[in-house]
C-alpha cells in the first residue's frame, strides 16, 4: 500500500499524487460507470422492450419511468453518502468503506435487476443500483479534492474522465454480449473488481474522532442547502454543468430507438456500440489533453465554453442529418466536446467548493447536476418523441439546452 505524507484529512492538499494513485482511482471510477452505463446504453432498453407489452405500455414510456426513478434516487443518494463519508472515522479512511460497500452492493443489485419479472421489480432494482453505486461514486469523487492540489486537478480530472468514457464503452460492450442476464452479470463483476486496486494499494487519510463535529440533525440537514446568493460562483457553475449534462442526457436516452426507428440501422444494438466507441475514441483524444492544457494556462472557463458550444452543434446535427454517417459525425464531435468539458469543468467545480470539511457532501450536491438531468431528460424526451415532433425536435431541444449552459459559465467570477 502506498502512502502520502501524514496530514489532517481536512487539510488542503499540497503534495503531488503518484501516477499509480491516479491510475487506480481512475479504474475505480470507470468500474462504477460500467455499472451505470451497461444498463443505460443497452440493457434497460432491452428489458423495457420485453416487459412493456405485458404491462400494456409503450417501451419508451417504461424506460422513461425506470430511468427517471433511478435518477431521483441518485440525486438524493449522492450528497447524503458524500456527507456520511465526510464524517466517517474508520481506520481505513473516510472514503474507502463507502467505495467498497457501494460497489459490492451495486454489483449484487445488478444481478437482481437482471432477474426482474415485471416493470415494478425492474424499477426497484434499478433504484437499488443507483443507491449503491452513488455511495461509491460520492467517495471516489471526493478523493480528488481530499488529495490532489488545485494546480493538478485538471490533469487528474482528465484521467477520471477518460476512465468514465472507457467505463461507458466497456459497459456497452459487456451489455451487448450474450443476452440480458449475461450482460448484467458481466457488468456486476467488473464493477466489484475494478475498485480493488485503489482501496487495497493506497491509503485514504483518516479523520480522527476529535476532528469530527458532534452530529446535530438540524444542522446536518440544513447543510444540504447551499444558497446561490451566498455562493454565486457555485450556483452558476452548477447550472452550467446541469444544462450541458441535460442536453447530453437527452441525446443518449433514446439512442437505440433513434437508430432503429429514424436511421433505420439494421442492428441498432451494434450501432449503439459503434457510436459509443467512436465517441470514446474522440473523448480519449481530448479529455486528458484538455485538462492538462487548462492546468498549464491556469484558465477553466474558455475550455468549458468551447466544449459546450461544440456539443450543442453535435446535437443539432442529429436533428438535421438523420443518417448513419450523420450519427457517426455527431458521436465524434460529442466526444471531443465532452472530453474537454469533463476534465476542465470538474476542476472548476472543485475550486468553487465552500468548505474543506464538507467536500464529499458539497461534491454530492454538485453531482446532482449529473443525476438530475437523467430524471428531467425522460420527462422531456418521452412526450417530444411520442407527441411533439419526434427526434428532430428532441435533438434541437438538446442543442439549445447545452448552448445555454455553455454561455452561463461566464457568470462564474472566482475562476478564470
DSSP states of 390-401 as a string? THHHHHHHHHHH
Reply yes or no on whether the pLDDT at 337 is more than 90.
yes
- pLDDT score, position 187: 97
Q: What is the CATH number of the domain that holds 407?
A: 1.20.1250.20
CA distance readout (Å), 216 to 9, 29, 222, 258, 360? 21, 32, 10, 50, 18
pLDDT average, residue stretch 57-61: 88
Work out the mean pLDDT of the chain and round it to a whole number.
Answer: 90
Q: What are the pLDDT digits (tens) for 33-47?
A: 999 999 998 999 999
Q: How many domains does the chain have?
A: 1
Q: Residues 154-204: pLDDT tens digits? A: 999 999 988 987 898 899 899 988 889 999 999 999 999 999 999 999 989
| pLDDT tens per residue, range 111-161 | 999 999 999 999 999 999 999 999 999 999 999 999 999 889 999 999 998
Q: Which three cell numbers stand for residue 161?
A: 474522465
Strand ranges inside 209-307, DSSP E: none
Q: Residue 2, SS3?
A: strand
In a domain, 91, yes or no: yes
How far is it, in rounded angstroms, from Cα 82 to Cα 264?
A: 43
Kindly state whether residue 379 falls inside one of the protein's structural domains.
Answer: yes
Q: Give the rounded percent of residues in the chain with a pLDDT score beyond 70.
A: 97
Provide the pLDDT confidence category of residue 7 given band limits of 50, 70 and 90.
low
pLDDT (mean) for 294-306: 95
Does residue 3 carry a pLDDT above 50? no
Q: What is the 3-state secondary structure (H, E, C) of 8-65?
A: CCCCCCCCCCCHHHHHHHHHHHHHHHHHHHHHHHHHHHHHHHHHHHHHCCCHHHHHHH
**291 occurs within a structural domain:** yes
Region 377-386: what's the mean pLDDT? 86
Are 129 and 110 a contacting pair, CB within 8 Å? yes
Res. 1 pLDDT band, cuts 50 70 90 = low
Nearest to 9 by CA among 351, 348, 360: 360
pLDDT of residue 8: 61
Report angle CA 325, 328, 334 to the nearest 5 degrees.
Answer: 140
Q: What is the mean pLDDT of residues 211-224?
A: 74
Could you tell me if residue 114 is inside a domain? yes
User: Which whole number is the average pLDDT over 254-265?
Assistant: 90
pLDDT of residue 229: 87
Kindly report, residue by residue over 224-237, the tens digit of the pLDDT. Answer: 887 888 899 999 99
Residue 296 domain flag? yes
Residue 4's pLDDT is what? 45
The whole-number pLDDT of residue 132 equals: 98
The answer to whether position 53 is within a domain reads yes
The residue segments making up the domain with residue 325 are: 19-198+222-411
- The pLDDT of residue 328 is above 60: yes
Give 236-253 pLDDT, tens digit per residue: 999 999 999 999 999 888
Residue 214, domain member (yes or no): no
Please tell me the predicted confidence (pLDDT) of residue 5: 45
Residue 202 has phi, psi (to 5 degrees) of -130, 135
Which is more confident, 367 or 294? Answer: 294
Q: What is the pTM of this model?
A: 0.81
Amino acid at each position: 500500500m502506498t502512502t502520502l505524507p501524514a496530514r489532517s484529512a481536512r487539510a488542503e492538499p499540497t503534495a503531488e499524487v503518484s501516477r499509480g494513485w491516479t491510475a487506480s482511482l481512475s479504474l475505480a471510477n470507470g468500474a462504477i460507470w460500467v455499472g451505470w452505463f451497461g444498463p443505460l446504453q443497452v440493457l434497460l432498453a432491452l428489458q423495457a422492450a420485453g416487459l412493456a407489452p405485458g404491462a400494456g405500455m409503450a417501451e419508451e414510456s417504461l424506460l422513461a419511468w425506470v430511468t427517471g426513478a433511478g435518477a431521483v434516487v441518485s440525486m438524493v443518494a449522492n450528497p447524503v453518502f458524500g456527507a456520511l463519508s465526510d464524517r466517517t472515522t474508520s481506520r481505513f479512511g473516510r472514503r474507502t468503506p463507502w467505495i467498497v460497500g457501494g460497489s459490492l452492493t451495486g454489483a449484487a443489485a445488478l444481478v437482481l435487476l437482471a432477474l426482474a419479472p415485471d416493470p415494478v421489480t425492474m424499477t426497484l432494482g434499478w433504484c437499488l443500483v443507483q443507491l449503491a453505486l452513488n455511495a461509491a461514486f460520492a467517495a471516489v469523487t471526493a478523493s480528488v479534492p481530499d488529495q490532489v492540489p488545485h494546480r493538478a486537478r485538471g490533469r487528474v480530472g482528465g484521467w477520471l474522465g477518460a476512465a468514465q468514457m472507457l467505463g461507458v464503452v466497456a459497459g456497452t460492450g459487456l451489455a451487448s454480449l450474450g443476452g440480458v442476464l449475461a450482460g448484467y452479470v458481466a457488468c456486476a463483476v467488473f464493477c466489484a473488481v475494478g475498485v480493488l486496486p485503489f482501496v487495497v494499494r493506497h491509503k485514504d487519510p483518516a479523520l480522527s474522532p476529535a476532528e469530527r463535529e458532534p452530529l446535530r440533525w438540524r444542522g446536518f440537514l440544513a447543510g444540504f442547502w447551499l444558497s446561490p446568493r451566498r455562493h454565486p460562483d457555485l450556483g452558476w457553475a452548477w447550472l452550467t454543468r446541469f444544462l450541458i449534462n441535460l442536453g447530453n442526457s437527452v441525446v443518449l436516452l433514446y439512442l437505440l430507438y433513434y437508430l432503429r426507428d429514424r436511421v433505420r440501422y439494421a442492428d441498432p444494438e451494434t450501432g449503439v456500440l459503434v457510436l459509443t466507441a467512436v465517441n470514446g475514441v474522440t473523448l480519449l483524444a481530448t479529455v486528458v489533453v484538455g485538462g492538462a492544457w487548462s492546468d498549464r494556462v491556469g484558465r477553466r472557463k474558455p475550455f468549458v465554453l468551447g466544449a459546450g458550444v461544440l456539443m450543442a452543434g453535435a446535437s443539432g446535427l442529429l436533428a438535421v442529418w438523420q443518417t448513419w454517417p450523420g450519427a457517426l459525425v455527431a458521436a465524434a464531435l460529442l466526444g471531443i466536446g465532452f472530453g474537454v468539458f469533463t476534465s476542465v469543468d470538474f476542476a472548476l467545480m472543485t475550486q468553487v467548493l465552500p468548505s474543506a470539511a464538507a467536500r464529499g457532501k458539497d461534491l454530492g450536491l454538485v453531482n446532482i447536476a449529473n443525476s438530475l438531468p437523467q430524471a428531467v431528460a425522460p420527462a422531456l424526451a418521452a412526450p417530444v418523441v411520442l407527441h411533439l415532433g419526434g427526434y428532430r425536435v428532441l435533438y434541437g431541444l438538446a442543442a439549445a439546452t447545452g448552448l445555454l449552459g455553455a454561455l452561463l459559465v461566464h457568470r462564474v467570477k472566482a475562476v478564470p
